[in-house]
Structure 1
Amino acid sequence: MTDEQTQPNRAEITREKLLSAALDVFGRHGFDGTSTRQLSEAAGVNLQAIPYYFGGKEGLYVATAEYLVTRIERHIGGLRQRIGTHLMELAAAGQELGEEQARLFLTDMATTMVGLLVSKESEPWARFIIREQMEPTEAFTRIYQGIMRPMIEMARRLIGTILREDPASEHVRLRTLAFVGNIMVFRLAHAAVLAQMEWQSVGPEQLQTLRNLVAELVGQLRQAEGNTR
């Protein structure tokens, strides 16, 4: 194998090292608190790799947000595609999504998300996203448009069906955000959850308990009395 054939692989490996390290380092120290030397040392690559591959720290920061989107998409992309395909097939047939199917899809989404959120892998993701929630930059736009907005809007569609309300209504938007918040708490308040539950960590048994809980939250979604489509 020639050097020309191996070079793209080396470049991809270097980029992956930098993005993986940047996700953790930026999440811990923020953009302003992170130096390019910290990033290169954490990745184990030459300092010049940052301007070479990303144009500088700013470029690496935005690329890190895009990298985060792809990492999350690996876990939930299949589920999102399956639901989206079903919705398109219904639309093509001139049919509407039924409440029972909407609950099944929402339960799949919720149990998948809670499993991802309590995993060790999601720790650096959460730190990065929380910083962007507090002081949004272009990185937040990439994360929101790439993963948050599509998932929230799909959940809105499902919750709107369950509540028999317009998914675009203010009430359904708020109900959806409240529902998502009930799941996000298991990562955003992870330490408090462990302390309150007297758990040392979230293992298979604890994860099943959480999945049962979020399925229960789906079951508690009810149409407002007297409300009809």
Structure 2
Amino acid sequence: MSQQRRPSRDRTTAKRSDPRERLLKAAVDVFGRYGFDGASTRMLADAAGVNLQAIPYYFGGKEGLYIAAAEHIGTLISAHVTELREMVHGRLQEADLEGRGIETAEARQLLTRIAHTMAALFVSDESEPWARFLIREQMEPTEAFERVYEGVMKPMLEVTGRLVGIIIGEDPDTNHVKLRTITLLGGVMVFRMARAAVLAQLGWAGFGKSEAEEIRAIAAELVASLHREARHET
């Protein structure tokens, strides 16, 4: 019996010690802390606990590892948001086919779910190394940013923008709706991107359960603040 179970344990051990996966995890952290130029291949290999030759073997070199790290971040973020995003997208398509659209109340409910999901992700410890990497890419975007934007950011912004447009009664393709959408998500992202300032201002030691609940409530308030505005002709 023990001999039959052993291959399963060996496969699990092999998966955990996969040098490619270790390199990706290490690269997200090291590149996030030191940037592309500041991170040497030796630093990357040491952080992953692999031979220096593993980088060209698996990724073709440092640049290939950097791009792969960005795609890895996109995959990790997608694991948290894709199911909800696709559900909302499907509901929007369904309503379009029915020719009646989504009512404002339902759009607000769906948007609140998105805001809650994003808030939970941004206050989690898991998102910390991703944020360091992505903040650098926001400041000086490279091909890595394009990979994450096209794969994760753009689809989420488009779905969220559709809901914002429904709530405020405007075309989601207008800059005004796009700006409202970015502002809404930015109001949630600030808890990760400006974490130190948030904790200092609120006197919090970190984001525990009670703090996370307060942030969820604020995320819902941000959605509730969206409303139709009277547009006056001039």
**Equivalent of 1:216 in 208, 215, 221:** 221
Letter in 2 for 1:79: L
The alignment's C-alpha RMSD in Å is 1.8
Question: Could you tell me how far apart the structure 2 residues matched to 1:157 and 1:136 are?
Answer: 26
- Structure 2 matches for 1:77-96, cutoff 5 A? 77-96=82-101
Letter in 1 for 2:141: P
SS in 2 for 1:31: helix
Question: Could you tell me how far apart the structure 1 residues matched to 2:33 and 2:197 are?
Answer: 19
Question: Could you tell me how far apart the structure 1 residues matched to 2:90 and 2:158 are?
Answer: 15
| Paired position in structure 1 for 2:54 | 49
CA apart distance, 1:187: 0.7
| Paired position in structure 1 for 2:3 | none
Question: Could you tell me how far apart the structure 2 residues matched to 1:63 and 1:84 are?
Answer: 27
Percent identical residues: 53
1:22 aligns with 2:22: no
SS in 1 for 2:95: helix
**Equivalent of 2:192 in 179, 187, 198:** 187
Question: Could you tell me how far apart the structure 2 residues matched to 1:226 and 1:18 are?
Answer: 53
CA apart distance, 1:11: 10
**What per-residue deviation string (whole Å, max 9, x for no partner) do you get for residues 155-203 of structure 1?**
1100000000000011111111111111111111101111111111110
For structure 2, the 5+ residue unaligned runs are: 1-5
| Paired position in structure 1 for 2:135 | 130
| Paired position in structure 2 for 1:67 | 72
For structure 1, the 5+ residue unaligned runs are: none
Question: Could you tell me how far apart the structure 2 residues matched to 1:211 and 1:10 are?
Answer: 35
CA apart distance, 1:84: 1.3
**What per-residue deviation string (whole Å, max 9, x for no partner) do you get for residues 26-75 of structure 1?**
00000000011110110011111100000000000000010000000111
**More deviation in 61-70 or 86-95?**
86-95
Question: Could you tell me how far apart the structure 1 residues matched to 2:81 and 2:139 are?
Answer: 25
Letter in 1 for 2:128: E
SS in 1 for 2:125: coil
SS in 2 for 1:32: helix
1:198 aligns with 2:215: no
CA apart distance, 1:93: 2.1
Question: Could you tell me how far apart the structure 2 residues matched to 1:88 and 1:12 are?
Answer: 43
SS in 1 for 2:102: coil
SS in 1 for 2:36: coil
| Paired position in structure 2 for 1:117 | 122
Letter in 1 for 2:216: R
Question: Could you tell me how far apart the structure 2 residues matched to 1:17 and 1:111 are?
Answer: 30
SS in 1 for 2:180: helix
TM-score by length of 2: 0.91
CA apart distance, 1:92: 2.4
CA shift in 2, pair 1:52/1:183, >3 Å: same
Letter in 2 for 1:93: E
Question: Could you tell me how far apart the structure 2 residues matched to 1:139 and 1:116 are?
Answer: 21
TM-score by length of 1: 0.93
CA apart distance, 1:90: 1.6
Question: Could you tell me how far apart the structure 2 residues matched to 1:95 and 1:60 are?
Answer: 47
**Structure 1: 4+ residue segments shifted above 4 A:** 9-12
Question: Could you tell me how far apart the structure 2 residues matched to 1:200 and 1:111 are?
Answer: 21
